[in-house]
């Protein structure tokens, strides 16, 4: 598929996830077959005021192209200025966040609060589009709540103002992340616009990715929580779609090896202290379903150094029966 003039070779993208989709995780998911990745949302105001934390979030690892930087904000001029600055980090696409449900974001009129003001959504797209030479996309929800389900209208307005693709998360803001995602709204948006539509919500395995593509007609699927501690999901999806074959289960030994590599990359990028604070949740996700997982996951909370993680992985490895160590 294409987003504007950007070619994307594949059908499965990694969703933006604040606190998760940093350069290390995006690199890993790309290696496992993610065709496109989106970075953590970044405050447009933070960028314009040169906040170091915000600028760091714009880093786009070399290995992850094509990839997007995602901005949040609600002032067209500030968004345009932030997008111009973001271009120094060489993203392939600029994405606008119209879906974040967090109170601190929506109470400032940003994220999914934008769905209540479709006209403003259009003005934001137009402003960013005029500011940068790369494609501009939006990530929307089904609507604000069950009295305001307007994904189709918001997508059409964004397209009319220059959006090059639309990602649809099939839940309202009120639903946050809990009830099953509504894929029918993705199908409706796909029918209503001519730019590519990326479907998002509840893809947990290769079969559900294939089902979403089939049921909604969307051009690509985007995976969030299903990829946590599970970057293999992308190769599983690609194998099913390209060869109509399921993948073999990932061995516990490989799980441990990839976890170590993931956290090593984070330590190299951010320094050990900061990386290890974030590593706790990643390690817990990787250990899910493994022998002795409950105890391992509890110990993740105490990880302070990379050496602690190596020790914990040794324990995990000792739990694995000899037969499984392949």
Q: Which residues are catalytic?
A: 100
Do residues 112 and 99 make contact, with C-beta atoms less than 8 angstroms apart?
Answer: yes
**Residue 48, phi then psi, degrees to nearest 5:** -65, -35
Least spacing, CB of residue 167 vs ligand FMN, in Å: 8
Direct distance between the N- and C-terminal alpha carbons of the chain, in angstroms, rounded to an integer: 37
H or E stretch including 97? strand 93-98
- Write out the binding residues for ligand FMN, residues 69-88 only, by CB under 6 A: 70
One DSSP character per residue, 122-169 reads HHHHHHHHHH-SS-EEEEEEEESSTT---HHHHHHHHHHTT-SEEEEE
Least spacing, CB of residue 102 vs ligand FMN, in Å: 9
Give the residue, chosen from 65, 84, 90, 225, that forms a contact with ligand FMN under the rule CB under 6 A. 225
Q: Please, which residue, 198 or 313, has the CB nearer to ligand FMN?
A: 198
Query: How many residues bind to ligand FMN according to rule CB under 6 A?
Result: 23
Do residues 35 and 13 make contact, with C-beta atoms less than 8 angstroms apart?
Answer: yes
Q: Which stretch binds ligand FMN (CB under 6 A): 94-102, 125-133, 254-262, 285-293?
A: 94-102
Q: Please, which residue, 43 or 161, has the CB nearer to ligand FMN?
A: 43
Quick count: other Cβ atoms within 10 Å of Cβ 87? 16
Q: Which stretch binds ligand FMN (CB under 6 A): 17-25, 77-85, 119-127, 291-299?
A: 17-25
Q: Residue 240 interacts with ligand FMN (CB under 6 A)? A: no
Binding to ligand FMN by CB under 6 A, coded x per residue (else -) over 197-216, reads: ---xxxx-------------
What is the C-alpha separation between 59 and 77, in angstroms, rounded? Answer: 22
Binding site for ligand FMN (CB under 6 A): 15-20, 40-41, 70, 97, 99-100, 139, 169, 177, 200-203, 223-226
């Amino acid at each position: 598929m294409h987003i504007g003039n950007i070619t994307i070779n594949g059908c499965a993208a990694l969703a933006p996830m604040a606190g998760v989709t940093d350069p290390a995780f995006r690199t890993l998911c790309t290696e496992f077959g993610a065709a496109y990745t989106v970075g953590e949302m970044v405050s447009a105001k933070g960028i314009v005021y040169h906040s170091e934390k915000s600028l760091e979030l714009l880093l786009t690892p070399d290995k992850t192209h094509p990839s997007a930087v995602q901005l949040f904000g609600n002032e067209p001029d500030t968004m345009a200025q932030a997008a111009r600055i973001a271009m120094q980090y060489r993203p392939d696409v600029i994405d606008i966040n119209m879906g974040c449900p967090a109170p601190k974001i929506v109470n400032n009129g940003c994220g999914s609060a934008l769905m209540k003001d479709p006209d403003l959504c259009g003005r934001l797209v137009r402003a960013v589009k005029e500011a940068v030479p790369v494609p501009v996309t939006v990530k929307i929800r089904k609507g604000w709540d069950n009295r305001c389900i307007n994904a189709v209208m918001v997508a059409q307005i964004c397209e009319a103002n220059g959006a090059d693709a639309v990602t649809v998360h099939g839940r309202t803001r009120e639903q946050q992340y809990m009830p099953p995602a509504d894929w029918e709204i993705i199908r409706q948006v796909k029918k209503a616009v001519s730019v590519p539509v990326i479907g998002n919500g509840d893809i947990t395995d290769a079969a559900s990715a294939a089902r979403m593509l089939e049921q909604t007609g969307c051009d690509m699927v985007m995976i969030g929580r299903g990829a946590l501690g599970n970057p293999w999901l992308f190769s599983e999806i690609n194998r099913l779609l390209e060869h109509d074959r399921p993948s073999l289960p990932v061995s516990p030994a490989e799980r441990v090896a990839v976890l170590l590599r993931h956290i090593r990359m984070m330590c190299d990028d951010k320094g050990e202290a900061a990386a290890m604070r974030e590593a706790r949740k990643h390690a817990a996700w990787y250990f899910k379903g493994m022998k002795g997982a409950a105890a391992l996951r509890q110990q993740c909370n105490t990880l302070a150094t990379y050496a602690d993680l190596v020790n914990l992985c040794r324990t995990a490895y000792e739990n694995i029966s000899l037969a499984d160590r392949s």
